[in-house]
Amino acid sequence: MCSSWLVVAFCCLGQLYADHSLKPQIAAPQFATNNPTLTTVALEKPFCMFDSSLHPDKSYIIYLYAMKESASAMISLVSDTSNKPLESTFQQTSGGRLGPYKAAWFHVPSCASPPRLVDAGDVSNVSEVLKQYLFRVGDDDTCLYDPNFLDVCNPPLSPDTTYRFKYVLIDSTEGIVKDQTLWSDPIKTRRVKIPLQIDTWSGPRSGGMIVITSILSVLLFLLLAGVLVSVSSAVM
């Protein structure tokens, strides 16, 4: 039987996709904790976004484009003058700094037959079920260095960097762009913490606490010194 949090989360997802505007959305905390990370961003897949553009006699796939935040991000095109989708790669765009790159492709998620909640009842299946709802950008740390890699490269994103994302519906029968979302809102990856800057204290420090800690340290030192003097005197 599914855990209650998972049932509620999936129900909320259905409401999300029914109501939100046409742009990629960062995954809700119920689905992806610690998101974004230093090098990845988990997005909700475009369920029901393109239903009105689908034709029963055609075949479709989804392209996901990514680019670093810039003044031109909201107007950057992902197709050429003949409406063919751009095939620009992570390497060609300097990781999205020069323009959008194709980060992934996948089949159009089906509103009619989403992943079954009963399959998530088994803890070992939760990860697989969530993958059908979510896509993690920056999840492949080998494609840049594998000479035999032939699929779309989805390498790690840069830490402390703002990105935007776009879903594009591709008519794979004709090889053209059929529909697309807006660019997402800015999403920033986490920044790397320098070890010396990591706060290991369990609570906030105040000036008074620092003074008290210093005084206690001195008193402890004096106490230990007194004990050592007493022991030495007794021995002599």
- Residue 227 one-letter amino acid: V
The β-bridge relationship of strands 162-171 and 134-137 is: unpaired
What pLDDT does 97 receive?
92
Question: CB under 8 Å to 179, separation ≥6 — which residues?
Answer: 50, 53, 168, 169
Residue 7 has pLDDT above 60, yes or no: no
Reported confidence tier of residue 114, pLDDT bands at 50, 70, 90: low
What pLDDT does 47 receive?
87
Length of the chain: 236
CB-CB contact of 154 with 105 (8 Å): no
What pLDDT does 17 receive?
44
What pLDDT does 38 receive?
95
- Three-class SS state of 167: strand
Domains observed in the chain = 20-190 (2.60.40.10)
What pLDDT does 141 receive?
87
Residues 19, 157: Cα–Cα separation, whole Å: 29
Mean pLDDT over the full length of the chain = 79
Residues 152, 90: Cα–Cα separation, whole Å: 9
Reported confidence tier of residue 6, pLDDT bands at 50, 70, 90: very low
113 vs 234 pLDDT, higher one: 113
Residue 210 has pLDDT above 70, yes or no: no
What pLDDT does 56 receive?
84
109 vs 18 pLDDT, higher one: 109
Averaged pLDDT for residues 17-25? 67
What pLDDT does 20 receive?
45
Q: Which residues pair with 105 in a beta bridge?
A: 63
- CA distances to 96, 142, 201 from 32, rounded to whole Å, are 24, 22, 27
Reported confidence tier of residue 10, pLDDT bands at 50, 70, 90: very low
Angle (CA) 169 166 164, round 5°: 175
Averaged pLDDT for residues 40-60? 89
- Residue position matching structure tokens 């020069």: 98
Q: What is the pLDDT of residues 53-94, one digit of tens each?
A: 888 888 999 999 999 987 665 668 899 999 999 999 999 999
Residue 207 has pLDDT above 60, yes or no: no
Q: What is the pLDDT of residues 147-187, one digit of tens each?
A: 888 889 999 999 999 999 999 999 998 999 999 999 999 99
Residue 232 has pLDDT above 70, yes or no: no
- CA distances to 211, 218, 221 from 215, rounded to whole Å, are 6, 5, 10
